[in-house]
Chain A
Amino acid sequence: MTIQEAKFQYLLRLGDSSLIIGHRLSEWCGSGPILEEDIALINIALDFVGNATAILGYAATVEGNGRTEDDLAFLRGEREFRNLLITEQPNGDYAATITRQFLYDVYTYYLYEALKSSKDETIAALAEKSHKEITYHLRHTTEWMYRLGDGTAESHERMQNAMNDLWMFTGEMFDMDEVDAILIKEGIAPDLNTIKEKWEAHVKPVIAEATLQVPSYNFKQKGSREGKHSEHLGFLLAEMQSVHRSFPGAKW
């Protein structure tokens, strides 16, 4: 695998995760628990779509086959997407949405922090911008972790259930393969073992303060690195790509 190929794969992982979790958040539109949260969720979704557009645009440039960010977003199938499994999990109730977002935000907080010093200048610049947004996202989701975890008996139970359901998708966030090995060597991407340490050191105290338990099981789902997704992704893409694919070659 060449550096260029590794970089393309890596950018798909970043860009697809943003695109898919942004899509999930946008599904809340108009049905949030309170108007202020509707606004926050749309705002965060917008940040993710913006980030995905920039990263997939750069991926297309790196690939150099004349594809665009829209081609990558709208004309790839389920097996070609590289988003993390956690990002495609359904919204569920607000507890599931907040928990999913928290576990993922902490991950991107440290990942993008490290990417700010990537030797690839474009990645470094994109990370710089995104990290500011992620800092805000993380503050928002952390506040809700406390409110819902330590709110009422019902909210606590819903949060613990969400944590139990989603924890299994956190392991693969730190999986590394040849792509990572090549980019670590080039100083383009960080070693995910160091991100994992920071993630655990951050996530566990928040979970404890939210009066929740870290699930005791060690079982982890994985597969997104090879494009092996949960059944949810196919439906999400069918919806997302429907208009674009119905009018081949059309301009919008």
Chain B
Amino acid sequence: MEDEKKIAAFEAKIAAGNKIEPKDWMPEAYRKQLIRMMSQHAHSEIVGMLPEGNWITRAPNLRRKAILLAKVQDEAGHGLYLYSATETLGIDRTELLEQLHTGKAKYSSIFNYPTLTWADIGAIGWLVDGAAIMNQTALARGSYGPYSRAMVRICKEESFHNRQGYEIMMHLAQGTPEQKAMAQDALNRWWWPSIMMLGPSDDQSPNSEQLMRWKVKMESNDAIRQRFIDRTVPQADFIGLSIPDKDLKFNEATGHYEHGPINWEEFFEVIKGNGPCNAKRLKARTDADKKGRWVRDAAVAYAEKKKLKAA
């Protein structure tokens, strides 16, 4: 149905390195794919507030408490910003949230793991925000204007989170033996989920040539994962923590680290909803939604009363 001329013009624009803006014509498949990706990203930001929010009330000192509050505030801000960017594609936040609450939309698999100790807050900032940056710097070069601009802005804050997370780990690694053990334990638990969160390996998820051509997908999952591993392993070495992968080795010839087999079965189980916290996270979101309904209703009723009075 879609006019071939329109598609040709759309693709030419992307090939020339121009951005597609909300008012521009776009193929339906492009719009759908972006809504899926952007809303999944927005949902990840707000679901991600839960495992980290867990530790705000227990942060070990006032400085760490303030830094964690500021980080979680940033993540909520990212969520808001991404929902607005997704709305430019002709869908509203209420509908997007409904998709999250009914399980129709996904969020990052990583937030279905529990935060068990304070060191997990360091591990999340260092590894999870670190992995997210690898993915998002690629997406910042994508073709859809509002998403690409959102990525540029968000990446700056994620880098900040990444540094702060690493700083937490560094303090723990240089601390008492118990603190160091706590840091190593967190790394042991978060390493594999972090490298899995970048998505299935390329042979299991062939990147459609079309999505690459449309600059919706910029790089393959395995390529992004490789960059993340290459960057993170020396950081672990530097603070004296060891990556929980006995097969990990540096290949002098390629200049890259080679990792052991990834347990994709676990990844797909978590995606299906069977991770340790899927049910808990979803329930926290739907409970908040239900608990907040009367508040939102009151705000609407009050605004209408005010409008009537002004009229």
B-binding residues in A (CB < 8 A): 23, 26-27, 29-39, 42-43, 45-46, 49-50, 52-53, 56, 69-70, 73-74, 93-94, 146-148, 150-152, 154-155, 158, 239-240, 242-244, 247, 249-252
Contacts and interface: CB of A to CB of B under 8 A. Distances in A.
Interface stretch (B31-39, B205-213, B286-294): B286-294
Nearest to B73: A42
Interface in B8-60: 46, 49-50, 53, 56-60
A8 B11 CA distance: 69
B66 A50 contact: yes
A34 B49 CA distance: 14
B301 interface: yes
B61 A152 contact: no
A52 B57 contact: no
A30 B50 contact: yes
B291 A31 contact: yes
Contact of B295 (A53, A74, A155): A155
A155 B303 CA distance: 14
B53 A30 contact: yes
A244 B77 CA distance: 29
Contacts of B168: 252
B169 to A, nearest CB: 11
A46 B301 contact: no
Contacts of B57: 23, 26-27, 239-240
Contacts of A154: 294, 297-298
In the complex, which of the residues B83, B176, B284, B292 has the most CB atoms of chain A within 10 Å of its own CB atom?
Answer: B292
Given A33-B288, A46-B69, A251-B171, A73 B62 contact: yes
B248 interface: no
Among A146, A240, A250, find the residue whose CB has the most chain B CB atoms closer than 10 A: A250
Contact of A155 (B46, B53, B171, B294): B294
Most buried by B among A42, A45, A46, A53: A42
A23 to B, nearest CB: 6
Q: What are the nearest 7 A-B pairs in CB distance?
A: A151-B298, A33-B292, A155-B298, A29-B53, A33-B295, A31-B288, A30-B49
5 contacts: A29-B72, A30-B288, A33-B292, A49-B65, A250-B179
Contact of B175 (A73, A152, A250): A250
Nearest to A31: B288
Contacts of B64: 252
Interface string B78-102: 0110010000000000000000000
A42 B72 CA distance: 8
Given A30-B53, A45-B56, A251-B175, 7 more contacts: A34-B295, A39-B76, A46-B69, A93-B291, A151-B298, A155-B298, A158-B294
A242 B58 contact: yes
Given A151-B297, A240-B58, A243-B60, A35 B76 contact: yes
Contacts of B70: 46
Contact of A38 (B49, B63, B118): B49
Given A29-B72, A30-B53, A247-B179, A35 B80 contact: yes
A175 B283 CA distance: 44
A208 B66 CA distance: 36
A225 B178 CA distance: 38
